């Protein structure tokens, strides 16, 4: 009832359609709104009836700009965000590119990435390389963060986005010890744990320990970050 704008529409392999909107509403068809404007993704049938719908973003402005269906049947969307909460993970208080991969069957988040720097960065298009790697195109005014080799004030930015991120700069002298139920760290970090298929499993902030007791016995990727410096390593959760 407030104002919702259609952004992109794709026909999915199952014969239905995926509709991407910038949604300001929080009632009627819009379920789970975060506040401000959100990414709103809806799967609809050939009669226009909603099969499912989901919102993504934070409490401020989240503006989607492009949607594709991947070869694995899941849905990829990109745009930009000014939020710093909800589904958004960033240390920059400005526009950043916000990319989400959602399950094509129900819209649940498989993973999401916030990329950019301290100035305005906006996503405009996304294409698939393979189910774990994507190219995102947009524009940037930043000269820090994820931006390298910038030439002017306002530039086109093209980058490859992987299902799990690769650190630009390792945190030196990081002490990590992994037991059956706990990861022990030498200091406080923000962290993300991914399955090797790229799905985000756990994320948050930890002083010295991360509880992994709910993880199944499998191979995972741990990324810890502090002040834009990140360290990543693969680990196997030991059997109990």
- pTM of full prediction above 0.95: no
Burial of residue 238 (number of CB atoms within 10 Å: 0-12, 13-18, 19+): exposed
Q: How far apart (Å, rounded) are the C-alpha atoms in residues 201 and 194?
A: 5
SS3 call for 89: coil
Q: Tell me the pLDDT of the chain (240 aa) as tens digits.
A: 567 788 999 999 999 999 999 987 766 666 666 667 889 999 999 999 999 999 998 888 899 999 999 999 999 999 999 988 888 876 577 899 999 999 999 999 888 888 888 889 999 999 999 888 899 999 999 888 777 766 667 889 998 887 755 544 444 445 688 888 899 988 888 888 888 777 788 988 888 899 999 898 888 888 887 765 677 777 888 665
Q: How far apart (Å, rounded) are the C-alpha atoms in residues 180 and 177?
A: 10
Q: Say which residues have a Cβ less than 8 Å from residue 177's Cβ, sequence separation at least 6.
A: 183, 184
Q: Read off the tokens for 81.
A: 């965000």
């Amino acid at each position: 009832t407030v104002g919702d704008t259609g952004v992109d529409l794709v026909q999915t392999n199952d014969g239905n359609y995926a509709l991407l909107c910038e949604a300001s509403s929080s009632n009627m068809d819009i379920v789970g709104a975060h506040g401000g404007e959100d990414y709103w993704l809806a799967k609809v049938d050939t009669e226009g009836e909603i099969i499912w719908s989901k919102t993504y973003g934070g409490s401020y402005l989240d503006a989607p700009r492009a949607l594709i269906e991947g070869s694995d049947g899941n849905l990829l969307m990109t745009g930009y965000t000014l939020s710093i909460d909800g589904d958004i993970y960033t240390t920059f208080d400005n526009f950043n590119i916000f990319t989400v991969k959602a399950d094509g069957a129900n819209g649940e988040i498989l993973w999401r990435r916030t990329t950019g720097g301290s100035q305005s960065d906006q996503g405009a298009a996304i294409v698939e390389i393979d189910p774990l790697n994507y190219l995102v195109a947009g524009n940037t005014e930043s000269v820090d963060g994820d931006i390298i080799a910038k030439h002017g004030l306002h530039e086109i930015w093209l980058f490859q986005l992987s299902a799990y991120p690769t650190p630009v700069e390792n945190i030196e002298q990081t002490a990590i010890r992994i037991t059956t139920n706990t990861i022990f760290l030498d200091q406080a970090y923000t962290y993300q744990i991914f399955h090797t298929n790229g799905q985000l499993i756990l994320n948050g902030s930890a002083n010295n320990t991360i509880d992994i007791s709910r993880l199944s016995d499998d191979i995972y990727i741990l990324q810890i970050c502090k002040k834009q410096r990140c360290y990543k390593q693969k680990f196997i959760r030991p059997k109990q």
